[in-house]
Amino acid sequence: MASLSTNMADHDEMVRKIELSVELKFAKRVAVLVKRLEKHYKSRNEQFEILDTIITGVAFDAEEDTLGEGGPITTILNAAHCINDADNKFIEQTIANLKNELPGEAHIHKIQSELSAISERDKAIDKLFEESEDEEATKDEEIIKEEKKEETIK
């Protein structure tokens, strides 16, 4: 029965190791995704400001009032602002949602520590098995030598 409980414990630890590995991989991928999305958001806003400046300049050159219904260029500028504002709101909400799903740095370090501890236990167990196998091999060699001595004596 002890063998069965040992096998179950080994199985549970293996499953836990897989769960932690998947969780860590997911957390790292989400963190990268958030950083890329934030970088894109910043770049997009910088590009929109340039576009806004250009369109505003064109509107002034066309003697349009960019604050109201000044003409077709102002209409384009107003539409661009509406689209940009809606996109910004969506991107900001997406970033916030992803950050809420993302485990914090402390949790990531905890996962890494637990995985490290499991790996260390695995290495220690492997070392014990190797030492046990070496001892058995040495005993086997001694038995073989003894048998050869006995055969030589006969």
pLDDT for 40? 96
Q: Which helix (H) or strand (E) holds 69?
A: none
- Say how far apart CA 103 and CA 113 lie, in whole Å: 15
Q: Is the pLDDT of residue 154 over 70?
A: no
User: Who wins on pLDDT, 135 or 18?
Assistant: 18
Q: Of 4-8, 81-85, 111-115, which range is least confident?
A: 4-8
Judge contact between 78 and 59, C-beta under 8 A.
no
pTM, 2 dp? 0.60
Q: Could you tell me what percentage of the chain is helix, strand and coil, using 3-state DSSP and rounding each to the nearest 5?
A: 90, 0, 10
Q: Is the pLDDT of residue 2 over 50?
A: no
Q: CB burial class (10 A; 0-12, 13-18, 19+) of residue 59?
A: buried
Q: Is the pLDDT of residue 118 over 70?
A: yes
For the segment 20-35, the average pLDDT, to the nearest whole number, is 84
User: Who wins on pLDDT, 154 or 100?
Assistant: 100
pLDDT for 122? 74
3-state SS, residue 154: coil
pLDDT for 30? 83
Handedness of CA 24, 26, 28, 34 (dihedral sign): negative
Radius of gyration of the chain (CA): 34
